[in-house]
Amino acid sequence: MNGVHDMGGMHGFGPVEAEAGEPVFHAPWEGRVLALRRAAGAWRRWNIDAGRHSIERLPPADYLRMTYYEKWFASSIRLMLDAGLITPQELETGRRDPAVPVATPPLTADKVPVAIAAGGPTLRQTSAKPRFVNGATVRARNINPIGHTRLPRYVRGRQGVIECHHGAHVFPDSNSRFEGENPQYLYTVRFAARELWGEGAHASDTVHLDLWEDYLDAA
């Protein structure tokens, strides 16, 4: 979706402000939001791409106003409601619907180290051959899907060069819609800064993105 989250190249956000001695969490609730997202995610009712899309779908003004963990919190509620883990009434009252049996959590404390150390690899086996070879010139497709995509606006229609592929990875566009992993080759594509931003950019600078085969055409 052409959302406000797709920020590459935008102006007007001011300087980058680093905080000296920044804590990992600025308040305890931030850590709880991270942990709740992770622990509820163990029910596997959504995936990382659906999770990212739930943040992108926040109203644009809210997206820009909210902090990172406020966005995670709001989108986690959305995910849990959509997945049926909680009901709107439970959310409003804060009490469990007594008609629903108490569940057993899939992620217990003893499983946390293994779960974090395993993560969620997205590399998949494929018998397909990569469509592009290293050094090939490609053009990012000019597509404007209304759903989740990891093809930023600032490279659409632009020409780049294949640096390498990383094997076949889960395709976020279909995975976010629960329409299957559709694994396909993922390439690092190098774009000249001048191809993206014009003559004002430095002649030797480049921007590198990891893009799936369905985002690319031969140029």
Partner 1 sequence: MSHDHEHDHDHSHDHGHDHGQDVPSDTALRVKALESLLIEKGLVDPAALDAIVDTYENKIGPRNGARIVARAWTDPDYKARLMGDATAAIAEMGYTGAQGEHMVVVENTPEVHNLVVCTLCSCYPWPVLGLPPVWYKSSAYRSRAVIEPRRVLSEFGVAVADDVAVRVWDSTAEIRYLVLPERPAGTDGMDAEALATLVTRDAMVGVAKVAGPAAKEGA
Site string for partner 1, 194-213 (x = CB under 8 A): --xx---xx-xxxxxxxxx-
Least spacing, CB of residue 127 vs partner 1, in Å: 20
Site string for partner 1, 89-128 (x = CB under 8 A): -xx--xxx---x-xxxx-xxx-xxx-xxxxxxxxx-----
Query: What's the 3-state SS for 117-182?
Result: HHCCCCEECCCCCCCCCCCCEEEECCCCCCCCCCCCHHHCCCEEEEEEEEEEECCHHHHCCCCCCC
Q: 117 vs 133, which CB is nearer to partner 1? A: 117
Least spacing, CB of residue 117 vs partner 1, in Å: 4
Least spacing, CB of residue 172 vs partner 1, in Å: 8
Judged on CB neighbours under 10 Å (0-12, 13-18, 19+), 58 is buried
Please give the structure tokens belonging to residue 64: 């820009």
Bridge partners of 189? 162, 209
Residues 141-200 that bind partner 1 (CB under 8 A): 150-152, 154, 166, 169-170, 172, 186, 188, 193, 196-197
Judged on CB neighbours under 10 Å (0-12, 13-18, 19+), 175 is buried
Stretch of 64-72, 124-132, 173-181 contacting partner 1, by CB under 8 A: 64-72
Q: Say whether residue 1 binds partner 1 (CB under 8 A).
A: no
Q: Say whether residue 26 binds partner 1 (CB under 8 A).
A: yes
